Amino acid sequence: MHVLLWLIDKISDVLFPGVFAKAKNLLAKRPLQTFAITATGAIVLLIGGFIFDSLPFYPIAFLGDDKPLRLANYLRAKALRHRVEDYLLAHADILYSDSDHTENHSWSYANILMGLGPDVVASKFKRDHFSYFHRQMRPGKSCWPQFRNTSRTEPCHTGATSWVLVAMASNGDQPSREMWTYLLDQQSLIGWWPLYEDSAMDPQNASTYSTAIALWAIQTGLTTNAIQSDLRDRAQASAQRAKSWLMSKREGSCAWLEYPDRSVNKEPSVAISGLVVYVLNEMDPRVLESSRQECITSFTKNKFVITDLEISGEVIEMNDGTDFLDAVKHQKLVWSTLAIAKLYPDLSWVDKARLRKYIESTLFTSSTPESALNYPWQMGELALMLRFIY
């Protein structure tokens, strides 16, 4: 080792003084040429470094599908998806048959169905989903509370209700006229939904999350013809109002606050912004066409892990004066990645490589990312994300 260090030291003594001396003489004789050569070399090195750093992530059509996941990670994503699907199928059986299970509420069941997707649900989980959801409804109403309906005092929840309607419409079950009418009735005149029923009198209760998820439900119902024909015109008008409201509440080009009309504004929500981008692109892929670059920058400026959650903790005052807490948790990585997946098809090769690299550096930080998740709804949303990138 000492001999090797001595040899390196001697070579440096001989080589570098000679190199620097020659460069100094050349700069004195031909300064402009030397500067041009040096600058050109630096630019070439920078471009070459960028190309070789991004090259493994460029989509090559004949080597695999043009998805926001490079070929080298297909097997990892496939194995992850199978593990998550096995978990969801097992939990769906438990929830369907065990009415006393702590996680047995309609929202979790809807998350599971959406994560599995219509093909898997039809082939591997043949259950009467409509009957299950009907049993879980709030007594006397065509809507669903956030948690298992053990009390008549808990109000219906827009998030839970909308997830149920999305799940039913996506899996071939037509929600009843009363279910759709309930959701449409809860919308404010200018387009937003509150988180809880009967709280739309106060504009401070305007919820970006509720509006995006309700819009998703209505758009899915329209696309799958799950909304009764005499309600379609009303549903289409409702969807347009919701879209206009969401677009009017943007922070910059591609970010949204959870409660934009509250006097104390917080930082935009990453997860909810991802949900909004996903839903708006489901409705119309051109709606954010001019903001794609800003969206990419917004969703890739920070790296998240699978356990990163957001919660607003805001208090919602009902029309009758009672209060309820917004305790909904949102997964940052899942919804930012779903937004990226929606934007991906219309991007340049360079931007596609950038997004592929970002997804690899966030999703595959461990061999079993799903092991850090604790609840079926989290696994359901993770599976939904995997359906779009794999």
Residue range 250-308, pLDDT digits in tens: 998 899 999 999 877 678 999 999 999 999 999 998 889 888 889 999 999 999 999 99
Most confident of 56-65, 74-83, 185-194, 317-326: 185-194
The pLDDT value recorded for residue 76 is 86
Question: Given pLDDT bands bounded at 50, 70 and 90, which one contains residue 32?
Answer: low
Q: Specify the pLDDT at position 20.
A: 52
Rg (CA), the chain: 27
> Would you place residue 27 in the very low, low, confident or very high pLDDT band (cuts 50, 70, 90)?
low
Burial 349-377, CB ≥16 within 10 A → b, else e: eebbbbbbbbbbebbeeeeebbeebeebb
Higher per-residue confidence, 172 vs 55: 172
Residue 164 has pLDDT above 90, yes or no: yes
Pairwise pLDDT comparison (137 vs 211), residue with the higher score: 211
Q: What is the mean pLDDT of residues 120-145?
A: 90
pLDDT of residue 117 exceeding 80, the answer is yes
Residue 210: φ, ψ to 5°: -60, -40
Is there a contact between 277 and 254 (Cβ–Cβ < 8 Å)? yes
**Which of the two residues, 293 and 163, has the higher pLDDT score?**
163
How confident is the model at residue 3, as a pLDDT? 57
Q: Is the pLDDT score of 7 beyond 90?
A: no
- Asked if pLDDT for residue 59 goes beyond 70, the answer is no
93 versus 22: the higher-pLDDT residue is 93
Short-list 322, 327, 286, 293, CA closest to 310: 327
220-237 pLDDT, tens digit each: 999 999 999 999 999 999
* pLDDT the model gives residue 147: 84
Residue 192 has pLDDT above 60, yes or no: yes
The predicted pLDDT at position 189 comes to: 93
Q: How far apart are the C-alpha atoms of 274 and 337, rounded to whole Å?
A: 8
**pLDDT computed for residue 57 by the predictor:** 60
What's the Cα-to-Cα distance from 259 to each of 128, 210, 256, 378, rounded to whole Å?
37, 10, 9, 23
Mean pLDDT of 147-174: 87
The rounded distance, in Å, linking the Cα atoms of 221 and 219 is: 5
Instruction: Say what percent of the chain tops pLDDT 70.
Output: 81
Q: Could you give phi then psi for residue 229, rounded to 5 degrees?
A: -60, -35
Q: What is the DSSP string of 142-173?
A: SS-BSS----SSSPBBHHHHHHHHHHHHHTT-
pLDDT of residue 68: 83
The CA distance from 46 to 239, in Å, is 47
Amino acid at site 138: R
Q: Which residue has the higher pLDDT, 111 or 349?
A: 111
Report the C-alpha gap between 147 and 377 in whole angstroms. Answer: 12
pLDDT at 40: 66
Hunting for tokens 């005149």 — which residue is that? Answer: 189
pLDDT for residue 126: 85
The proportion of the chain whose per-residue pLDDT surpasses 90, expressed as a percent, equals 52
Rounded mean pLDDT of 365-374?
85
Q: Which of 38-42, 133-137, 188-192 has the highest mean pLDDT?
A: 188-192
CA-wise closest residue to 113 among 388, 384, 385, 375: 384
- Coil/strand/helix, residue 277: helix
CA distance 26 to 242: 67
**Residue-wise pLDDT tens digits, 318-347:** 888 889 899 999 999 999 999 999 999 888
Residue 222's pLDDT is 97
Mean pLDDT of the region 168-194: 95
Helix (H) or strand (E) holding 235, with range, is helix 232-248
- 76-115 pLDDT per residue, tens: 888 999 999 999 999 999 888 876 666 668 999 999 999 9
Q: Is the pLDDT of residue 129 over 80?
A: yes
Average pLDDT in the 153-158 region?
Answer: 87
230-248 core/surface letters (b: 16 or more CB in 10 A; e: else): ebeeebeebbebbbebbee
The pTM (predicted TM-score) of the whole model is: 0.84
Report the mean per-residue pLDDT for the chain.
Answer: 85
